[in-house]
Amino acid sequence: MDWERFAERLAILARELLEQDSVQATLDRIASAAVEIVDGCEAAGVLALRKQEAVTLAACGDLAVESDRLQGRFRQGPCFDAARREDAERAYRIMDMTRPQPAWPKYAPAASRLGVGSMMGFLLYARGEDFGALNMYSRQPGAFTEASETAGWVLASHCAVALASASTEEQLSHALETRHAIGEAMGILMERHRLSEDDAFDALRRISQHHNIKLRDVAQRVRRTPGGSRER
């Protein structure tokens, strides 16, 4: 492992991750970066659980996509376990997927037939929040060394921080858009129906509660409705 070269590429990646314009773009770049800079990695992906269902958030290479599909189908596998269990290890490395893996009696032989020779993965973890597992694959048994695992762990740590930052920025952007939409809708109601600021907000809130619609969506409807909304 050329650590000087790795450090240079990681520094470049850190800037690239900060330049991504969405959480999804950040996830996509994380997956592709694993293939580019971790020795032995031929495919990579980020898997998460949503309501106990495996979801591929990003992938670079069909091997990662198909592996996630198998783990979701059998509801077992190292990535599935890492994303699901609170007591799971933050990292794993499997040297030879062609050998029996008692922990995953259905997934392991299916993954071997798929072409997975070895794999490793790391939880993307920052600020007390799990974003999923970054998983790396090779078609060759023994492709991942201790140096590869160290590089993967360093990469995952940097990526988790970048992902947390991207998530925060996206949430802030969404909050600002929501605030703007509600403020504009209130202005429409105040002007067209001669309501006070408090009465305009109460009108939006009552519609939201009565129809079980998010306040932001109610505001968007008011903005699109000619003459404003007279619903109470």
Residue-wise pLDDT for 113-145, tens only, equals 999 999 998 988 655 555 678 999 999 999 999
Q: Compute the distance between CA of residue 119 and CA of residue 63 in angstroms, rounded to an integer.
A: 11
Alpha helices in the chain (DSSP H): 3-19, 23-37, 62-74, 78-84, 107-114, 146-193, 197-211, 215-224
Q: Compute the distance between CA of residue 218 and CA of residue 62 in angstroms, rounded to an integer.
A: 41
Residue-wise pLDDT for 33-49, tens only, equals 999 999 999 999 988 87
The domains located in the chain, with CATH, are 3-166 (3.30.450.40), 172-224 (1.10.10.10)
Residue-wise pLDDT for 139-174, tens only, equals 999 999 999 999 999 998 888 877 776 665 555 445
The two most distant CA atoms of the chain are separated, in Å, by: 75
- pLDDT at residue 105, as a whole number: 94
- pLDDT at residue 47, as a whole number: 87
Residue-wise pLDDT for 73-101, tens only, equals 998 888 777 666 555 567 889 999 999 99
